[in-house]
Amino acid sequence: KKEKRSMSLFNPHLILHLLLLTVVTGEILRPRFYSETCPEAESIVRREMKKAMFKEARSVASVMRLQFHDCFVNGCDASVLLDDTPNMLGEKLSLSNINSLRSFEVVDYIKEALEKACPATVSCADIVIMASRDAVALTGGPDWEVKLGRKDSLTASQKDSDDIMPSPRANATFLIDLFKRFDLSVRDMVALSGSHSIGQGRCFSIMFRLYNQSGSGKPDPVIEPVYKKKLNKLCPLGGDENVTGDLDATPYVFDNQYFKDLVSGRGFLNSDQTLYTSRETREYVKRFSEDQGEFFRAFAEGMVKLGDLQSGRPGEVRSNCRVVNRRHNDVLPVS
């Protein structure tokens, strides 16, 4: 029932929320933050990510998505990982996350390994940042040095996630404005959209494109005909909308195929394809489709900027990524 809630592109609370949300300097982030307190931290995270990838190739793409869905909502604070409690509706059931975000158990395994090596030292927020970087590197994409030292949020808000996260219907103009509010440029936005180089999306996210684009009762005319037939077969009217399709033609390899697909009219999501149909973003799509090295550099730079987002709210190093530590009685863990 919850996923049937309105997916309106222009949430009436969005502008107010963005005006009220100020991402400020919080913890001092720096490379090799755990070099003395937990020197093997990054090695442990990568080892566990390799295990996850061998167990289920799709899982690393799912983990990478956590950084986007966490950092955009009140900064990179691991709030997206928190389970609901009797007095807190968290972010997992928000419009953009319900039946969509997954592989939380991979973060749990990483946290467990880190707690054995360095108890109460490495934050869940930093795990998300490291694991996202490793997801890209392990699938053939760029590797980069991450800045660490974040604290974990003491709370989460479904409403905040609903108000800020864009829907699959979003167009380039909307995305440019959204990213700009976080000091992320048009180049950053297009490059970071390249995270869809790996992973899959649900039919639920594209049914309107296939059968009722802009309320016309017709499909999106920019979808390449052969690709449209493939999507129609995957996502028929009245079918299971939780069926998933590949976000690009090489869903297990991080490369620039995503941008090549957009140039060819084979973007899976509306928010993907609009990057090529829009004058403001088309040149970046073309450039990244032709030069994988430039895409990799832009993506790594964008991920570092995204990881810098902080709300300045109080935090802690949670001992369990899904619940706030028991010493805080304002948010109680679910039994």
- Catalytically annotated residues: 69
- Token pair 């895409």 is found at 295
Look at residues 151, 148, 145 and name the one whose alpha carbon lies nearest to residue 123.
151
Query: Rounded distance, CA 136 to CA 195, Å?
Result: 8
Measuring CA to CA, how many Å separate 260 from each of 105, 247, 288?
33, 12, 8
Give, for 60, the enclosing helix (H) or strand (E).
helix 59-71
Q: Which residues pair with 315 in a beta bridge?
A: 153
Could you tell me if 281 and 187 are in contact, meaning their C-beta atoms sit under 8 angstroms apart?
no
DSSP string, 253-304: S-SSHHHHHHHTT--SSHHHHHHHHSHHHHHHHHHHHH-HHHHHHHHHHHHH
Instruction: Please report how many Cα atoms fall inside a 13 Å half-sphere around the Cα of residue 289, on the Cβ side.
Output: 18
- Token pair 């490291």 is found at 130
Alpha-carbon 160 to chain mean position:
15
Give, for 62, the enclosing helix (H) or strand (E).
helix 59-71
